[in-house]
Structure 1
Amino acid sequence: MARQEKTTKKQSYQYDAIVLGAGPAGEGAAMKLAKSGKKVAVIDQRHQVGGNCAHVGTIPSKALRQTVFNIMRYQRDPLFQKVGEWKQVPLSEVLRNAHRVIEAQVDTHTRFYERNQIDVHHGRAYLQDEHTVIVHMLDGGSETLSFDQLVVATGSRPYQPEGLDFNHPRVFDSDKILTLNYPIHKIIIYGAGVIGSEYASIFIGLDYKVDLINTQAQLLNYLDDEIADALSYYLRELGVLIRHNEQIEHLETHDDYVVLHLQSGKKIKADAILWCNGRSGNTDGLGLENVGLAPNSRGQLAVNSQYQTDVPHIYAAGDVIGWPSLASAAYDQGRCAAANMVGEQDVQPVLNVPTGIYTIPEISSIGKTEQQLTDEKIPYEVGQASFRHLARAQITGETVGVLKILFHRETLEILGIHCFGNNAAEIIHIGQAAMLSQANNSLRYFANTTFNYPTMAEAYRVAALNGMNRLF
């Protein structure tokens, strides 16, 4: 709860714990601390809670993706030809639904803080010393907050290299792209990681021409090779031009277009460019040097398995510590950090995190890839279910995709699950539950379980039977 009437003069407050950042990691930490009986304050530099996740990251981009997915689905149906009117409209128009979702999320999470009697201070935090933080309030004045323990959960922002003018109206990063308010026909996306791949599928769905510049040899090279290849093939089928192993030389900007010069000598002209090549932790300006903490070159803080920094009473969680930089993991990291802060025993760090990539269609995975199992000389086999053979996929028309189960040939232990297709990020959790269960982590569990029919979940039974048929 903000103290609007007190911002014109200095105020002082004492807290057991202060959390910097009101995104998923900050919220997870604050809620756990409050429920453990601690007096807690959250400091966030926005006027509303939710962090980058709610305002410029996960929520708006995924709401945008859903709108584009709906457009693409209707375009395939001859009964809905009028959907073509969506083509070449400003992105800001497509984002109308996203703004409604953001407002609903802010309202929901604001109530969480109020219910748990957590003070929220809206302003910029500056660590004066190891137990004092100064808050420069957004509406003027300052507050001095004293604390026993601190959690840094300030998140991250798009990395902006020197030499690119992000103030130019045709040069965007993944935050600024949500403000695109004019129609474009062609866009360059530099960086083919998760965010770049997601936006490539979104823009091609809006009938833009897309050049996706990948600085690596393949898309998302940490994924299972077959899944990464499937995404690459599908994006190309839709019309995305993917250029691998390329590096920027320089960017030429004009009033109504840009020209990207690559080190290979290629020149690519487009209406705009979206830079998606890395992120930086939001640690600058926090005064971390006053408490003896030094972030790395990308603004990230190092922590131990308890999410504790080199300063024992200061913890960090979420994107500001780097991998895996997922909202889901960030919330759990914040909760685990708080559990360690209040002295709980045997708190396990967040490790078994499913990958969720919201391209169209989605990708999700957990566990080992085929290459990893091969390198480790583990005798594994593969069970597959192609979506095109599933009745539910045929009914919905979303037949692109596959579910792969990697399992030990001898013990039938499930070693990895990889899914490419509509609702992959939902489907993966069935496999995740089995993998993490000592009683059910066996291919037999899926082969012997009755699934509703028709559902996408029955892909697990189909894949399990397919895998068993490969054994001899």
Structure 2
Amino acid sequence: MAEFDVIVIGAGPGGYVCAIRCAQLGLKTAVVEGRDTLGGTCLNVGCIPSKALLHASHSLHEAEHNFAKMGLTVAKPKVDWKQMLAYKDDVIGQNTKGIEFLFKKNKITWLKGWGSIPEPGKVKVGDEIHGAKNIVIASGSEPSSLPGVTVDNDGGVIVDSTGALALPKVPKSMIVIGAGVIGLELGSVYARLGTKVTVVEYLDHITPGMDTEVQRTFQRILSKQGLDFVLGAAVQETKAAKGKASVTYKLRKDDSEATLEADCVLVATGRRPFTAGLGLESLGVEMEPRGQIRIDDHWRTNVPGIYAIGDAVKGPMLAHKAEDEGMAVAEVIAGRHGHVNYGVIPSVIYTTPEVAAVGKTEQQLKEEGRAYKVGKFSFMGNGRAKAVFQGEGFVKILADKETDRILGAHIIGPAAGDLIHEICVAMEFGASAEDIALTCHAHPTYSEAVREAALACGDGAIHA
């Protein structure tokens, strides 16, 4: 008989949520984790620490630019970088210890160490082998780099997202390679702290895959905040010498070459699945061309008893997507029906303003040839947003032209990451734009902008 009903490899958002749900469903569960703390990349060197620094740097911005406007007279704030990092580490500690508590509460065994799968039904951790009726791979992802780019987080000159969260000092200048979520969030942090930030992006726009109108508006706002952009630039190499760094790139439009210099380079060119050392090749586990584990509609690999979720499989590398898959695969293992609606997975960028999206973009609907209508409302028409100096941005709702069913939404503005969930719930229940338009929204709230955008899908917004 197996020692455990389920062993989950990896204690990130996908892994620990899967384990907790398995335990709630009566399954004897263990989690393999090699870090000294639980929570994976997200809680230790990703989502949580970056949000702490975003909050701290935004508070600095408010003190420097908006306090006086509100009649708050204070001395010019100073940045104590060591204390800011200590605050960030304290936030990490509170969250990771919270996961430890949940493991104890749900009687989940933490198998400390790095795991591998020597054969189906067996997981090796250190010198010990544990039996499991089911194995869930939730090993997450790691930062990816570019040819000609060598990351050295210990040196603090050419770093990835992990190194950028613990630089020895705030650099005077920084080059960010990649204009995706990670690059723009961390670039925003350092720009607020006084760093001269230049973002170099291969494509001719920022935030790949997002609504084009959002992309343009977002870039304009970030430029006003002090970030410079070099778009359509293919990075050739980076160099580090004497505490400085340089980035050489070639413009795609004319093949001209140029070099930028800075105190620090942040390589934010995406992430790749982290599956090394699991023994998947010897097991015969089928893989996707881009390194993800191949699964069926129930998160099963081709090897019986082995499942995979989160960043290790196809789909957006988002913590909440991994969490949903973790709960769903637990249901499947317990003999229930697990489901993830991949059409209603929101994405958020936690800069100021925030950017959030769910469902289809206009570009996707045009490519599909689907008739749609647009309801749009600017935050300049929202009293609450103007009161807190965040009138820039808008809410855009896309609805089917005939049925009025909501197909997607795109928000750039205050609390966009929270506002988007009203649309998520509406889409989950197949609601129309009119359903939102006819729902009373408290005044004054940012959410009124969502209602106004829904009204704009019909006869028109009130405050536009």
The question of a shared fold, defined as TM-score above 0.5 by the shorter chain, is answered with: yes
Alpha-carbon contact 2:63-2:77 (below 8 Å) kept: no
Partner of 2:253: none
2:275 — aligned with what?
283
Structure 1 residue runs of 4 or more that deviate by more than 6 Å after TM superposition: none
Question: Please, what TM-score do these two structures have when normalized by structure 2?
Answer: 0.92
Match of 1:333 in 2: 325
1:249 equivalenced with 2:236 (yes/no) = yes
Find 2:222's aligned residue among 235, 238, 241. Answer: 235
> 1:374–1:280: structure 2 CA closer, same or farther, 3 Å change rule?
closer
Gap runs ≥5 in structure 1? 1-11, 137-141
The answer to whether the Cα contact below 8 Å between 1:60 and 1:98 also exists between their aligned partners in 2 is: yes
- 1:130-151 deviation digits (Å, cap 9, x = unpaired): 2222212xxxxx3221111100
Conserved 8 A contact 2:18-2:330:
yes
Partner amino acid, structure 1, of 2:231: H
Residue 125 (structure 1) aligns with: 115
**Deviation sequence 1:29-69 (CA, Å, 0-9, x none):** 21222122221110001112111111001110111111111
> Structure 2 vs 1, CA of residues 93 and 248 (structure 1 numbering), >3 Å: closer, same or farther?
farther
Distance of 2:274 and 2:107 partners within structure 1:
26
Letter in 2 for 1:457: S
Q: Residue 208 of structure 2 aligns to a residue in which SS?
A: coil
- In structure 2, the partner of 1:97 is 87
**Among residues 172, 188, 197, which one is paired with 1:185 in the alignment?**
172
The residue matched to 1:95 in structure 2 has which SS? helix
Which residue of the partner structure matches residue 193 of structure 2?
A: 206
Aligned to 1:51: 40
Q: Name 1:158's counterpart in structure 2.
A: 143
Q: Structure 1, residues 429-449: CA drift from partner, whole Å, max 9, x if none?
A: 1122122224xx122222222
Other structure's SS at 2:204 match = coil
Contact 2:325 / 2:340 at 8 angstroms: preserved in 1?
Answer: no
Distance 1:296 1:406, change over 3 A: closer
The alpha carbon displacement at 1:81 in A equals 5.4
Per-residue deviation, residues 358-390 of structure 1 (Å, max 9, x unmatched): 122111111211122222232322212211221
2:5 alignment partner in structure 1: 16
Matching residue's letter, 2:427: M
Give the counterpart of 2:60 among 56, 63, 71: 71
* Alpha-carbon distance between aligned partners in 1 of 2:341 and 2:384, rounded to the nearest angstrom: 37
Give 1:325 deviation, angstroms: 0.9
Q: Which residue of 2 aligns with 1:147?
A: 132
Give CA-to-partner distance per residue, 1:282-305, whole Å, 9 cap, x none: 111112223212545654212111
Query: Aligned-residue CA RMSD in angstroms?
Result: 2.0
Which letter does structure 1 place at the counterpart of 2:190?
F
Distance in 1, matches of 2:117 and 2:454, equals: 54
Amino acid at match of 1:157: E
TM-score, structure 1 length as denominator? 0.90
Distance (Å, rounded) in 1 between the aligned partners of 2:360 and 2:338: 25
1:272 corresponds to: 264
Equivalences for residues 389-408 of structure 1 within 5 A = 389-408=381-400
Q: Unpaired segments of 5 or more residues in structure 2? A: 251-255
SS at match of 1:247: strand
Q: Deviations over 1:329-363 (max 9, x none)?
A: 11111111121122213634544201112122111
Query: In structure 2, what residue type is equivalent to 1:85?
Result: K
| Corresponding pairs, count | 450
Aligned mate of 1:353, from 339, 345, 351 = 345
Whole-Å Cα distance in 1 between the matches of residues 436 and 91 of structure 2?
A: 36
Identity of aligned residues (%): 32
Post-superposition offset of 1:232: 0.9
